[in-house]
Structure 1
Amino acid sequence: MSDLDGGESCASTPAGSPGRVELGVLGPLRVAAGGTELELTSPRSRSFLALLVLNAGRQVSLSEFADALWGAELPQNPRRAVQLCAVRVRAQLDRIGAGDIVVTCPDGYRLDVPPEATDTGALALRLSEADAAADDAERELAAVTAALGLWRGEPLADVPSEELQREVAPGLREKRLQLLERRFDILLRRGSGAELVDELVALTARHPLREGLSGQLMQALHHCGRRGEALDVYHRFRRRLSDEFGVEPSESMRTLHAAILTGRQDEDRGTEPLRLPVPRQLPASAGAFSGRKGELAELDGLLTAMNGSSGPVVGVVTGTAGVGKTTLAVHWARRVADRFVDGQLFADLRGYHPGQALSPDRVQARFLRTLGVRGEDIPTDADELTAMFRSTMDGRRLLMVLDNANSADQVRPLLPTGPDCLAVVTSRDALLSLIAIDGASRVNLELFDMVEARELLARRLGPERLAVESQAADDIIAASARLPLALAIAAARAVIDRGAPLSALAEQLRGGLDAFDTASDLTDVRAVFSWSYRALSPDAARMLRLLGLHPGPHLTVPAAASLGGLPVRTAGRLLDELVRANLVTEPVPGRFALHDLMREYAAELVSADEAEADRDRAVRRLLDHYLHNGYAAVDVIDPLLTGDGPGEALPEVALEDLADHDAALNWITAEQEVLLSILDWAADAGFDRQVWQLVWVLFPYLMRQGSPAQAISCLEAALKAGERLGEPLLQARAHRGLGNMYLRAARDEDADRHFETALTLYRDNGDLSGEAHVAMGLAAFREQQGRHPEALEHALRALDLHERLGDTGSHANALNSVACCYIQVGQHQLALDHGRRSLAAFRELKAPEAESAVMDTIGDAHQQLGQFTEAIDSYQEAIRLARQVGNRFYTARSLDNLGDTYHASGDQAAAQGAWREAEAIFDELQHPAVRQVRGKLAGAAA
């Protein structure tokens, strides 16, 4: 609903004192203040205010108002229409001095009144009082009677909102019936059956299929000696239930019938009504529960969702093995257990245990026995069993925890149908079907963050011990991958051996999964992982194993397809299965990852279960994926930078569509961390040729991003690979690259050493092209040192060599180098001539990055000639091109030069603006030029 996006621009109105404002929806809409009733004549105003009353104290969004007021037939501008309605309602409320109770919020409105000012809020308070007085019949009866007294008729009787009548009114009517049943139950326990008969007869006539009321009428009749009529009520109820639904009354109803039939109720209980069993099945909560504040708040939201709900509320807690799903569910369930007066049910469905998972019918039968149904009365037919289960659950206020489910089909038959029941399901599977079809709310558990992990260790070991060895605690957390189960095992080991330092434990945990072996399938990390692994399809299990070969922090679907030798669509489907099983995460859309312990588990699996030849081919496909896609990306970004490609890719490798500049730049940006990890891994594994090729994928990108430390690290890896391969020309290219990088870092001695080594290697091997490239580097180096005639000499030597070799791109680059040197020796017109020739060549080659460098040179020449307008135009074009290709160093350099030109032309404000932009980029790149720019800014400020 795009018309409703965004909030109002005005600030929220501060809430004033609501005085004696009274608002009600348990009947016709009621608005009163100071004894004065307000009649809202507009139907939409009544709907607007009723929605606020039902959500008192909570913001109601504009889209919620629009749905409640107009349903599917929205006005042309629903957002404005809601605002106009709010204005009208406030104006009417102002007539009784209550206009300020409707407060404007960023995306809607809030009713700012205390809970007792609305009848629904007062109802919640009375129910809390009744629950708190469950052991005191008089106080409970008084609270229930007071709650019933809040009803003034049919809820929302004069509110014409179809949505509220459909979604809210039934729940409010159900709430009243439950209160009536609770009141009857209290009075029956007091022996007041006779005075209830007429009221119960009228209610059962209106609600003939409500088992609770029919059962209470049977008890009331029997208590006043009308046993035959009581039995007749049962038979009428049974016939109607059978005719309309084909099911029998619940076990408790049949037990009541049998008791009245034999007279046992009088003998055993006198006037006491039949009491249903109240199960308390929740396991004990973890003694040192830690963290999860956000997730606990999400679960608390389920309680809020129960208010006004016409059906049960279901929450699904999902997450990877060992992340603490059961711990969270049980801890939260114990916190709220007292809100469910008919008890709490718990079942471990064993969905991922080594043995067979529990079937729904077994759990249904177990729950029925818990709720008082005799074993011999439990049907064996699945449909009859489900019908009895639902009938038995109906009318009860129960909390159900279904732990360790493996599918929605295992859970669905166990879900209650009554509006006062809440079910919490835990699963390693995402249970998307339960969310999509049954309306379940998902609470997804991630690994602990550092704060939560330290909190767990502090609770288990004591904060003092952690404070003494803070770094060791962080090392334990890192070794445990922030997985709660692994952290709990580590903490247990530290508790057992209190005399040992935590640093010793941290060292042991670096041994991998073996360090988390507890000799118990229930708590051993490897065993817990294995239950999820065994539940996978064979193809997904293979994919998980192969992911153990991937050294990067994350991967894409095409990368996974290459690794597995699969079609991209198939790989995507298998990754989705692994995500649903919570063995793989998707931290950002389209990128998939394993936490460290899961990665180690996958590495163990692939080593044990995949043949060596299959592993080797998977690794080759993986390297080909990153090499071929990387070279394709660099070739699109700047074809002058790639050099020789990596040859033919294996046929199963997924080659991506990187045809345009943005797609290529986005690919290499997203894969930077992965490529660096692959590079390190390939070097350790002895893939020297691939290391060399990967460097020339990464190096141009790192140069553009201004990452000198990473660029130097890559070139050093290339140099070592060239040395191991015994190929001097590969070593020469690495030395040449290192010379250029140390030149940029102003490390003259290192730059000189690498340039000289590169030049010697090229000359010894007769490589004129390499010699020409070194001459270019030396030209830039001598220019930076202020040795301008020598720089020009090197540049002219490079130009001559490249012209003889016929390399158009390198020749154009040499022309630019010569132009730069002519500027330094005062030959500015010659500089312009060479720069323009260079620019024409690069435009022909469609090399925008090189064009940016030349435009900067041309700008320098114009500036030296005093042609400031032409210089400014040239620098601005250089900046535009540099930004287009993402070269931040070129961008900063041209901004700095642009600032100099503005300064020389007398525009000081523009100069400072350009310098500030240059300073920010140089500072982020940690480039030495930042000091010079700051000096210019300081001088301008003075």
Structure 2
Amino acid sequence: MTEQIEADPRRTFADSLQELRVAAGSPSLRWLAERIRRRSADTLGSAPRGNPGRALRGTGKSSIDDKLKGDSLPSLEWLHLFVDACAAWSRSHGSGLTDAMVDRNVWFRRLAEMLKELELDRHNDIRSADASERLRMLAVPRRLPPTAPYFVGRDTELAALTAALNDTGGAPAAPGVAVISGLPGSGKSSLAVWWAHLVADRFPAGQLYLDLRQPDGTPLRPGQAARALLFQLGERPAASDDEQAEALRGRLAGQQVLIVLDNAESADQILPLLPAARESFVVVTGRSALDRLIEDTAAQAVRVEPFTSAQARVLLVERLGEKVVAADPAATGTVVTGCAGLPLAVNVAAALVERNRESSLRRLADAVTSAQQRLGAGRGAQVEQIFRLSYADLEPEAARVFRLLGVHPGPFVTQGVVASLAATAVREAGRVIGSLVDRHLLEERQSGRYGLHDLLRENAMVLADAEETAAERRDAIARAVDFYLHNAHRAAMAWDPQRDPLILPPAAPDVPVERVAGDAEGLDWLRRHHLSVMRMIPIAVDLGFDTHAWQLAWTMSDFLNRQGYWHDLATAVEHGLVAARRCGDERAEARMRRLLGRTYALLDRLDDSDTHLEAALRLWTAADDHAGRAHTYIDLSRNAGARKLYSHGAELARRAAECYAAAGNAAGEANALNAVGWYASLGGAHEQALAVCQEALLRNRAAGDRSGEAATLDSIGAAHLELGDLRSAEANLVAAAALFAETGDPGEQAGSLRRLAAVHLEAARRALRQAVELFEGVGAQSAAREARSTLDRLC
């Protein structure tokens, strides 16, 4: 008999790193080491200019080789830099890595799974302890974007921020706040992010970052911003905007958290987001001085002025070297003047020279002078000249992609999105993205995700209007909508295979459909793209892509519901209903009305919910659609339960079970039976509830519906709790909470955990009552009084 050897999780993880390296085109260890070392210096703040910061270990060739063999464990920072390096090599050499292959969420999950396996290995105490420490670090949110590759000339501003952090004066209950203001393109965000990386170690509870301006220029509402920050903290957002802000303050209470709020519009936008305790620190950037915010919070004001000529020259030297910059002082002066003191423009100009080494700064200076004669010499015109010169130097395909990026409404794009916008191959899209990033016309904000600076977005929009016809712009958006629909639908079905799939219109020939394997990758895809999808839905309605619009709303509905984005869900489905009615598709209208009814119920608008659900039920009945009727009956039963009409809720759930059976939907029938049992238990018939829910559990497992199984285990645990069987209640509720965690439903998981807490409280009460009796029986009156006091506090 052959002994089975258990796989080493370290080796398995190392093999996946090696596979990524090979798929990227097999960059050498020397190249990887240099890239990781350079980027770690930038990202972690230990740059060659002597800035303080923490150096990343494991950047040498031998250390990388150890990790690729599984001989040492990677940190999360090292892993991100390794994946980014592979992505960079792939872009340069056209190997065609997909977005999913370099997605940070996917690699984060793989690293966490490997460390959990190692943590459980008690045969090696050292390895287990190392894994436990790394797991603890993974739980800390680190949401800062990468630092700018080149950062100079802001020593005074950095010192002012550090002084604000070190200032122990002020109200003890207020957090420290610094407000960075300045012109667009002056480097406010770069300064905030660079400094945040420098001091990150002083905030052990984590670092958060949020851009408060949407790509179309509209500011995020405070409630939207609070919801986004809660999401970064791993919390399920609350229902109303006021509750969002309160939940955020509660979550941050007593925590040492650094928060960077970028592109603020006003004090009213910021004040609801500030934590209550002084342990945290908040950095705000904005184009205006935000005087009221400074006055209300006693914030440190830091003004970022445009570069002086000397500072701009230093940045050019950093990029090009002293020899190139000093070769022609007059040309250097002309270029510096043309950049108008904006670091963004200096970087674009330097990249233009770097890409054309044979030309030198003189040729760029002549082009700037020529452009000045045509466009004028104001600050805006000067910067426009630099951007236009860089754009004119692009190859045609890259220039077209840059224009079309101005059409895309989302906060970022990926290779797949760019391939769809430009109707090109994914590999070609990656090459073009690399070219734009190298020229500083596009920023890599996270691994595999790219965005435009505000000034460049405005430039791209103007170019798109001027050089793309209305039909070409519309076609590009149509392909992007197509990309999001087909890929979101695939991800949603991978995440929850029990959903009724849609029949989608065929994807356009130039739209890539990405591989999504399993529920975890499906959830990762939805998390990565959901902001862009949400912005595409109203655009699809405005452009008349009605089928795509309502199908996108349906596709995103479970994700938005289970992640707590109920206001966003209501907005999406309201747009979807308009599109469905315009299509004249009654089944689509029924879907949207049912979704809208369910969403309004989540927002405590039960009367509005009933109106839409009853309209949906009429449409499903007219269409003789058993599954549609069943879904709607379940939603109506929830509304009855919310009104404490438990017997009516159970009756509606029975009708749903009958309709599911007629439709041949075993999983749906099982879940409807669970609902019958749940309402029976709420009405006091706990024994009856257990009988019905046990049958539902068998059907859930036979259908392979893990979400339904979790919900039914929760119902069974709740019924056992009411009957006083604490052991059975605990076993079922623990299992339910674990399954809800696996299926990505934090709200339901929290409900199971709350009921589990009630089980332990009841067990504690029983133990204390028994203790009181025993103490009194042996005459230990003092101990009996102490136990009775504890019991009174629990009751």
Question: TM-score under structure 1 normalisation?
Answer: 0.44
Are 1:650 and 2:629 an aligned pair?
Answer: no
In 2, Cα distance between equivalents of 1:836 and 1:290: 64
Aligned-pair distance for 1:613? 4.9
In 1, Cα distance between equivalents of 2:747 and 2:586: 31
- 8 A Cα contact 2:714 2:752, kept in partner: yes
Q: Please, which of 637, 640, 644 is the counterpart of residue 786 of structure 1?
A: 644
SS in 1 for 2:517: coil
Q: Which residue matches 1:626?
A: 484
Q: Please, which of 705, 710, 714 is the counterpart of residue 856 of structure 1?
A: 714
In 2, Cα distance between equivalents of 1:549 and 1:938: 65
Are 1:664 and 2:522 an aligned pair?
Answer: yes
Aligned-pair distance for 1:840? 3.0
1:940 to 1:546, Cα distance in 2 relative to 1, 3 A: farther
In 1, Cα distance between equivalents of 2:51 and 2:544: 62
Aligned-pair distance for 1:431? 4.8
Q: Which residue matches 2:498?
A: 640
**Counterpart mapping for 1:787-806 below 5 A:** 787-806=645-664
In 1, Cα distance between equivalents of 2:675 and 2:687: 15
In 2, Cα distance between equivalents of 1:528 and 1:572: 25
1:745 to 1:907, Cα distance in 2 relative to 1, 3 A: farther
SS in 2 for 1:328: coil
Q: Please, which of 456, 460, 463 is the counterpart of residue 598 of structure 1?
A: 456
- 8 A Cα contact 2:316 2:350, kept in partner: no
In 1, Cα distance between equivalents of 2:685 and 2:389: 77
1:432 to 1:297, Cα distance in 2 relative to 1, 3 A: farther
Q: Which residue matches 1:382?
A: none
Are 1:845 and 2:703 an aligned pair?
Answer: yes
Percent identical: 30
Q: Which residue matches 2:548?
A: 690
Q: Which residue matches 1:808?
A: 666
Counterpart of 1:332, as a letter, is: Q
In 1, Cα distance between equivalents of 2:567 and 2:709: 26
1:545 to 1:837, Cα distance in 2 relative to 1, 3 A: same
**Counterpart mapping for 1:207-218 below 5 A:** none
SS in 2 for 1:906: helix
Q: Which residue matches 1:763?
A: 621
Aligned-pair distance for 1:534? 0.4
Deviations 1:768-825 (A, max 9, x none): 3322222212222212212122112111111112212212222122121122122234
**Counterpart mapping for 1:529-544 below 5 A:** 529-544=387-402
Are 1:582 and 2:440 an aligned pair?
Answer: yes
SS in 1 for 2:501: coil
Q: Which residue matches 2:381?
A: 523
SS in 2 for 1:671: helix
SS in 1 for 2:450: strand
Are 1:740 and 2:598 an aligned pair?
Answer: yes
Q: Please, which of 571, 590, 595 is the counterpart of residue 713 of structure 1?
A: 571
Q: Please, which of 406, 428, 438 is the counterpart of residue 348 of structure 2?
A: 428
Q: Which residue matches 1:195?
A: none
SS in 2 for 1:641: coil
Q: Please, which of 311, 318, 334 is the counterpart of residue 332 of structure 1?
A: 311
Q: Which residue matches 2:81?
A: none
1:899 to 1:812, Cα distance in 2 relative to 1, 3 A: same
Aligned-pair distance for 1:704? 0.9
**Counterpart mapping for 1:36-435 below 5 A:** 328=307, 330-332=309-311, 364=327, 404=335, 426-428=346-348, 431=351
1:632 to 1:607, Cα distance in 2 relative to 1, 3 A: same
Counterpart of 2:761, as a letter, is: H
1:288 to 1:686, Cα distance in 2 relative to 1, 3 A: closer
Q: Which residue matches 1:700?
A: 558
Q: Please, which of 395, 403, 406 is the counterpart of residue 548 of structure 1?
A: 406
In 1, Cα distance between equivalents of 2:457 and 2:791: 52
Aligned-pair distance for 1:60? 12
In 2, Cα distance between equivalents of 1:780 and 1:297: 46
SS in 1 for 2:381: coil
Are 1:564 and 2:543 an aligned pair?
Answer: no
Aligned-pair distance for 1:562? 1.9
- 8 A Cα contact 1:326 1:403, kept in partner: no
1:290 to 1:802, Cα distance in 2 relative to 1, 3 A: closer
- Structure number with greater CO (CA < 8 Å, separation at least 6) is 2
In 1, Cα distance between equivalents of 2:474 and 2:188: 42
Unaligned runs of 5+ in 2: 1-47, 61-70, 73-181, 196-286, 288-302, 337-344, 358-374, 769-789
Counterpart of 2:465, as a letter, is: S
Aligned-pair distance for 1:850? 2.2
**Counterpart mapping for 1:854-893 below 5 A:** 854-893=712-751
Are 1:827 and 2:685 an aligned pair?
Answer: yes
Counterpart of 1:544, as a letter, is: F
Counterpart of 1:901, as a letter, is: V
Aligned-pair distance for 1:586? 1.4
Deviations 1:732-781 (A, max 9, x none): 22222222223333333222222222223323443333222222122222
In 2, Cα distance between equivalents of 1:893 and 1:670: 26
In 2, Cα distance between equivalents of 1:817 and 1:762: 21
Aligned-pair distance for 1:290? 8.0
In 2, Cα distance between equivalents of 1:750 and 1:654: 40
Number of equivalenced pairs: 471
- 8 A Cα contact 1:862 1:870, kept in partner: yes
Q: Which residue matches 1:409?
A: none
In 1, Cα distance between equivalents of 2:753 and 2:791: 17
> Which stretch has the larger CA shift, 323-332 or 797-806?
323-332
In 2, Cα distance between equivalents of 1:529 and 1:671: 29
Aligned-pair distance for 1:325? 13
Aligned-pair distance for 1:657? 2.1
Question: TM-score under structure 2 normalisation?
Answer: 0.52
In 1, Cα distance between equivalents of 2:599 and 2:51: 59
In 2, Cα distance between equivalents of 1:623 and 1:288: 30
1:677 to 1:534, Cα distance in 2 relative to 1, 3 A: same
1:907 to 1:663, Cα distance in 2 relative to 1, 3 A: farther
The structure having more radius of gyration, on CA atoms, is 1
In 2, Cα distance between equivalents of 1:625 and 1:718: 18
Aligned-pair distance for 1:346? 11
1:856 to 1:651, Cα distance in 2 relative to 1, 3 A: same
In 2, Cα distance between equivalents of 1:822 and 1:871: 17
In 1, Cα distance between equivalents of 2:440 and 2:745: 39
> Which stretch has the larger CA shift, 764-773 or 527-536?
764-773
Q: Which residue matches 1:479?
A: none
1:296 to 1:824, Cα distance in 2 relative to 1, 3 A: closer
Aligned-pair distance for 1:544? 0.6
SS in 1 for 2:572: helix
1:627 to 1:642, Cα distance in 2 relative to 1, 3 A: farther
- 8 A Cα contact 1:879 1:891, kept in partner: yes
- 8 A Cα contact 1:631 1:645, kept in partner: no
Aligned-pair distance for 1:401? 5.8
- 8 A Cα contact 2:479 2:508, kept in partner: yes
Deviations 1:319-351 (A, max 9, x none): xxxx999952514389x9xxxxxxxx999x9x9
1:825 to 1:542, Cα distance in 2 relative to 1, 3 A: same
In 2, Cα distance between equivalents of 1:631 and 1:670: 14
- 8 A Cα contact 1:430 1:580, kept in partner: no
Q: Which residue matches 2:771?
A: none
- 8 A Cα contact 1:325 1:427, kept in partner: no
Aligned-pair distance for 1:834? 2.8
SS in 2 for 1:878: helix
In 1, Cα distance between equivalents of 2:420 and 2:440: 22
SS in 2 for 1:716: helix
1:542 to 1:851, Cα distance in 2 relative to 1, 3 A: same
In 1, Cα distance between equivalents of 2:190 and 2:481: 41
Counterpart of 2:559, as a letter, is: Y
